[in-house]
Amino acid sequence: MSNHTKDTMKISYALIIVFILLVASISPLGDLMRSMYEDKLEDEIVSTINRITLFGLGGLLMILGLVLSFLTWKKINDKKLKRFLLMTGLSAGLFLVLSILHNVFYAISEIFSDKAIIKGIMSVMEVTAFLGAVCLVPIIFLVCVIGTLVAYKKIGEKSST
């Protein structure tokens, strides 16, 4: 196994860990963890901690995804592994992009709430971005992570024989 493959493997594992932490922070488990310190801190501090956690993990997921995609594009030669790594990295970055677009489209629809056509178009785009970020991108990410792990295993078996 080449050094480039090992580097992308490390980044892939880091992506998986950050993805799990991000999902845990917005799931009922995150609510349980927040409830432990919520009574002891002011609401504004709790809200700030939640935002830092969410945007920090989301930003880290996006950066790791872009680094993985860049390294894969430049250094990986195995076609199947390259395809899975690129899709994994791009879907990690796309999650945050679609989440931000969802909020931008919502804000635009609220600004132009008196103009029915613009509000209608922005509402459709908002829902599309939301469904993409919440439903489509995580499924693509998980499928590609599984494909990446299988491809890594096959490459490891080839290099050990």
Global confidence as pTM: 0.76
Which of residues 110 and 28 earns the better pLDDT score? 110
- Determine the 3-state secondary structure of 39 from DSSP: coil
Instruction: State both tokens at 47.
Output: 């809200």
**CA 73 to chain CA mean position, Å:** 19
Question: What pLDDT was estimated at residue 41?
Answer: 66
- Specify the 3-state DSSP secondary structure of 104: helix
Q: 45 falls in which pLDDT band (50, 70, 90)?
A: confident
47 or 78, greater pLDDT:
78
pLDDT at 103: 92
Question: Domain limits of the chain?
Answer: 3-160
Most confident range (mean pLDDT) of 41-50, 107-116, 152-161 is 107-116
Of 101, 86, 85, give the one whose Cα is nearest residue 134: 101
- Between 39-43, 46-50, 51-55, 97-101, the lowest mean confidence (pLDDT) is in 39-43
Interval 61-77 mean pLDDT: 89
Our separate counts of H helices and E strands in the chain read: 6, 0
